[in-house]
Structure 1
């Protein structure tokens, strides 16, 4: 998610505002300290205009 955010030139705060969560929540997701809820995962996918699988499933 960090790479997708950086590609768009967004700060963690920018993404947090788009997702209606705190900047700390974005940081926790990006560092792997927190897994987003399913509704939040859908919002993340919507903000990035991607499928959830493309964002969260690796390999």
Structure 2
């Protein structure tokens, strides 16, 4: 469940910023297929990955995790 929530939040933020998976991969120095796996909830990010994605999306790691946390809390209800 948490993997899916992280993926949805990542895709949501990326879409809001009009960044393609390819550009996010380039900006974060991650593989585009890995970005896709994260967004589909098939992989869990490491702490390093969270920091890379946050920097590429120009948000803090705290903001990213907080959005995931809020969605997770809402999903549990």
TM-score under structure 1 normalisation? 0.81
Distance in 2 of aligned mates of 1:22 and 1:5: 15
Query: Can you give the 5+ residue segments of structure 2 that lack an aligned partner in the other structure?
Result: 1-9, 71-77
Query: Can you give the 5+ residue segments of structure 1 that lack an aligned partner in the other structure?
Result: none
Deviation at 1:38, TM superposition (A): 1.0
1:1-59 mapped onto 2 (5 Å cutoff): 1-56=10-65, 57-59=68-70
Higher helix share: 2
Q: Which has the higher contact order (CA 8 A, sep 6+)?
A: 2
CA RMSD of aligned residues (A): 1.4
TM-score under structure 2 normalisation? 0.66
Query: Which structure has the bigger radius of gyration?
Result: 2
Which consecutive aligned stretches of 4+ in structure 1 deviate over 6 angstroms post-superposition?
none
